[in-house]
């Protein structure tokens, strides 16, 4: 399970960092197309940027959930090791 959490966390962090840059580029392209008179292309780029914004929000939420799960997993591991050490000392 650690490997899956590690991969999900890595990808969500990468998406969380890269998607804002892509959104800015797509919004810039939308402005350029609208300025050149291509309203349909500008509208399409705006809708793509909105979809990417939803994806960015999902990546941020996924990062938070994954970090929480990983912290809980580490806490359980630490508690398990501590109880094993305590049992060894008592014997």
pLDDT digits (tens, 9 = 90+) for 38-60: 999 999 999 999 999 999 999 99
Domain ranges of the chain: 2-90
- pLDDT over 80 at 79, yes or no: no
CA 61 from centroid of its chain's CA atoms: 6
Question: For 22-31, what is each residue's pLDDT tens digit?
Answer: 999 999 999 9
């Amino acid at each position: 399970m650690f490997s899956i959490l590690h991969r999900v966390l890595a990808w969500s962090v990468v998406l969380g960092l890269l998607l804002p840059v892509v959104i800015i580029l797509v919004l810039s392209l939308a402005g350029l197309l609208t300025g050149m008179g291509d309203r349909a292309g500008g509208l399409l780029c705006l809708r793509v940027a909105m979809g990417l914004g939803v994806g960015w929000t999902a990546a941020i939420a996924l990062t938070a959930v994954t970090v929480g799960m990983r912290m809980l997993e580490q806490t359980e591991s630490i508690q398990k090791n501590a109880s094993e050490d305590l049992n060894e000392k008592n014997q």
